[in-house]
Amino acid sequence: MGQFIFSKADIPGILIIEAKPFRDNRGFFRETYNLSDFEKNGFTDKFVQDNHSWSNKGVVRGLHYQIKPSPMGKLVACFKGKIFDVGVDIRKGSPTFGKWYGEILSGDNMKMLYFPPGFAHGFLCLEDDTHVYYKCTGMYSQKNERAMIWNDPEVGIKWPLDEVGGKVILSEKDQKHPPLKGIETNYTFKG
Closest by Cα among 6, 13, 77 to 41 = 6
Question: Is 64 domain-assigned?
Answer: yes
Q: What is the pLDDT along the chain (191 residues), one digit of tens a residue?
A: 458 999 999 999 999 999 888 888 998 888 889 999 999 988 999 999 999 999 999 999 999 999 999 999 999 999 999 999 999 999 999 999 999 999 999 999 999 999 999 999 999 999 999 999 999 999 999 999 999 999 999 999 999 999 999 999 999 999 999 999 999 999 999 87
- The CATH code of the domain that includes 87 is 2.60.120.10
Question: Is 34 domain-assigned?
Answer: yes
Which is the catalytic residue, given 64, 65, 114, 177? 64
Which is the catalytic residue, given 65, 101, 114, 134? 134
Check: CB of residue 33 under 8 Å from CB of residue 17. Answer: no
Question: Is 191 domain-assigned?
Answer: no
Per the annotation, the verdict on 134 as an active-site residue is yes
Question: Is 70 domain-assigned?
Answer: yes
Question: Is 105 domain-assigned?
Answer: yes
Closest by Cα among 62, 66, 68 to 84 = 62
Helix segments in 6-157, DSSP class H:
35-40
Question: Is 109 domain-assigned?
Answer: yes
Per the annotation, the verdict on 64 as an active-site residue is yes
Number of H helices, E strands in the chain: 1, 13
Question: Is 187 domain-assigned?
Answer: no
How many structural domains are present in the chain?
A: 1
Residue range(s) defining the domain that contains residue 124: 4-182
pTM: 0.94
Q: What is the dihedral of CA 62, 67, 72, 76, to 10 degrees?
A: 20
Question: Is 120 domain-assigned?
Answer: yes
